[in-house]
Structure 1
Amino acid sequence: MGLAIMARAGFDPQQSVVLWRNMAAAGGGQPPEFLSTHPAHGSRIEALQQAMEEALASHRDANPADCSG
């Protein structure tokens, strides 16, 4: 859901994978996924990659995001 929203808002959806790889590197260990209220970093990255084709199509149709303030 967040991936689709960011793509329609004009943000590059591929950067979501970069973000979660950075979070995994900085975050240290995680509890087993079945004990957690959130997906493991690897599961989240895999889900983002599976949804990427559709997100990229939405991004192509969106106006570029303007974060210049």
Structure 2
Amino acid sequence: MSDGFKDKVKGAGDKVKGEAKEAFGKVTDNKKKQAEGKADKAKGAAKDKKGDVKDALNDSDEQR
């Protein structure tokens, strides 16, 4: 399993966790949980992009 793929899996987990926190915050009118959820989703998106970069670098190294 490539490092990029691992980052993408971790990113997806953070996005799901963020969605759940944000939804819980909305239902309970908890602004702090909503903010935590948004932060987790952003962290997940960043990890996903990191995985894309690692995959692109790995692909370019393999082509040489």
* Alignment TM-score, normalising by the size of structure 2: 0.41
Larger radius of gyration: 2
Structure with greater proportional helix content: 2
